[in-house]
């Protein structure tokens, strides 16, 4: 059950999209929203720039002052968006648990975003964030923190308004522990879905019947579940999968994180990175 949702707030236009989706989840599960904003630490910034610019040229050029002003501006925008959102939607602002209903709180930290995102994400049931704007994507190290260093599921949203997440839920199934953990994390969504479609891409070799076992297991949670075996053809598996999800008008894609052995490639390389780059629907991931 989802009772606490971490919502990173960056002072960007995509914050409103994330707040709207998080609110729909909070209303469905009577959950609490923890809206986190991390302000730039001036001391850390000076030390970091000094390490790469011992001559002091960057500091004397006013770069540090501009970065601090930008951080101040983003914090003001983020807080105003939070206050306006709570007032408009009649969301109770409190950090104290209550019986039923929706609540939210503003959490401000100072330092590095990825550090505080990991710290707060570990104690939340779910983290919800957007991948950022096209010309200003969310930094990879921030996504890494939300996905790899929390041990909790991540709901990553496209940079456009999202439809309700309980229509057609597609599962990118591969017989791996990562995919199994993603399905466990997505169970609150799967139980409420209009239908579930398990997508298995045939990559050649012996026929994999794990998808059939998954459908039987999920039918105990939702009777509207089917399996689609997808032929790979000349396309890469990730393209086959995304095309199938679009054809289904899926409102949510559930998947594990896959990749190679190096840290960044493991989390955001190969299959997973392509989904994050090309998916135009919300993606619920677990590692």
Exposure letters 178-202 (e unless 16+ CB within 10 A, then b): bbbbbbebbebbbebbeebbbbbbe
CB distance 7 to 19 below 8 Å = yes
168: CB partners within 8 A, 6+ apart: 193, 194, 195, 196, 197, 248, 249, 250, 251
SS3 125: coil
**H helix or E strand, kind and range, residue 50:** helix 42-52
* Residue (of 81, 80, 78, 149) closest to 120 by Cα position: 149
pTM (predicted TM-score): 0.87
Average pLDDT per block of 10 residues along the chain, 287 residues long: 94 90 94 95 72 56 81 94 97 91 96 93 94 64 80 88 86 91 95 96 76 96 95 79 90 75 46 67 87
**Strand 283-286 to strand 154-157: parallel, antiparallel, or no bridges (unpaired)?**
antiparallel
Displacement of CA 253 from its chain's centroid (Å): 11
CA distance 98 to 96: 6
Residue ranges of domains in the chain, CATH in brackets = 4-157 (3.40.50.620), 168-286 (3.40.50.620)
CA distance 186 to 189: 5
Sign of the torsion angle spanned by Cα atoms 202, 236, 224, 285: positive
CB distance 46 to 56 below 8 Å = no
Angle at the Cα of 117 (from 241 to 89), degrees rounded to 5? 80
**Strand 103-110 to strand 32-39: parallel, antiparallel, or no bridges (unpaired)?**
parallel
Can you give the pLDDT at residue 56? 55
Q: Return the residue matching tokens 């008008």.
A: 249
């Amino acid at each position: 059950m989802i009772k606490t949702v971490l919502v990173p707030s960056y002072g960007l236009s995509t914050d409103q999209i994330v707040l709207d989706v998080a609110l729909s989840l909070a209303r469905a599960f009577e959950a609490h929203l923890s809206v986190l904003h991390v302000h730039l630490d001036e001391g850390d910034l000076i030390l970091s720039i000094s390490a790469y610019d011992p001559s002091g040229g960057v500091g004397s050029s006013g770069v540090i002052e501009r970065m601090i002003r930008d951080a101040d501006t983003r914090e003001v925008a983020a807080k105003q968006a939070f206050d306006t959102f709570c007032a408009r939607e009649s969301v109770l602002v409190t950090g104290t648990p209550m019986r039923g209903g929706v609540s939210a709180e503003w959490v401000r930290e100072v330092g590095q975003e990825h550090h505080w995102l990991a710290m707060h994400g570990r104690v939340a049931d779910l983290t919800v964030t957007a991948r950022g704007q096209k010309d200003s994507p969310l930094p990879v190290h921030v996504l890494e923190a939300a996905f790899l260093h929390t041990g909790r599921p991540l709901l990553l949203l496209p940079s456009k308004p999202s439809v309700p997440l309980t229509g057609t839920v597609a599962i990118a199934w591969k017989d791996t522990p990562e995919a199994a953990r993603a399905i466990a994390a997505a169970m609150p969504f799967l139980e409420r879905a209009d239908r579930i479609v398990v997508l298995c891409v045939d990559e050649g070799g012996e026929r994999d019947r794990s998808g059939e076992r998954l459908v039987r297991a999920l039918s105990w949670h939702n009777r509207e579940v089917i399996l689609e075996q997808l032929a790979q053809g000349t396309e890469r598996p990730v393209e086959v999968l995304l095309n199938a999800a679009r054809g289904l008008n899926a409102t949510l894609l559930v998947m594990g994180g896959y990749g190679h052995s190096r840290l960044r490639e493991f989390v955001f390389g190969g299959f997973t990175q392509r989904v994050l780059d090309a998916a135009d629907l919300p993606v619920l991931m677990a590692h």
